[in-house]
Amino acid sequence: MQSTVVRRALSTVVALTALGAGVLAGGGTAAASTKDGELELREFGLYYNSSLMGSVLDLYLADSNLADDRFPGYGSGQGQIVDNNAASYFNRDRVVWYVYTGSFAGGVEGSLPANYYGNASATFKNQVSSAYHYKAR
């Protein structure tokens, strides 16, 4: 009788531990959702219009070729290709992000410090083709 109670208790502990690990693992991926049109902490956003207006492409990881991305979400620019189509940005990440006027870190490089937001300069307005959360070249 006593061994059955101990065995059931151990089974319950093992099951609860496995369930807890699954919940923790699932929570990590949900926090890192990207390219969903909602700019969250630890993401870098490219906006279709100046002054952080219109649709936003939110990046958690680097993107070497924005030609295969479209602005998600809502607002003006929704569905448009991101490459050479972003007029402002917001770096909600804790690290510097780098943007390039060419894909695969080609062309002119610009850097955006953590928590920076604003309109793209004349060099980068509607010219950004790739973005990295590390210096790519």
pLDDT of residue 33: 72
Q: Domain-by-domain residue ranges, the chain?
A: 1-31, 44-132
**What topology does CATH give the domain 44-132?**
Gamma-B Crystallin; domain 1 (2.60.20)
pLDDT of residue 83: 98
Confidence tier at 32 by pLDDT (50, 70, 90): low
pLDDT digits (tens, 9 = 90+) for 88-124: 999 999 999 999 999 999 999 999 999 999 999 999 9
d(CA 7, CA 40): 45
pLDDT digits (tens, 9 = 90+) for 37-75: 999 999 999 999 999 999 999 999 999 999 999 999 889
Instruction: Tell if the pTM clears 0.85, that is, is over it.
Output: no
Q: Residue 15: is its pLDDT beyond 60?
A: no
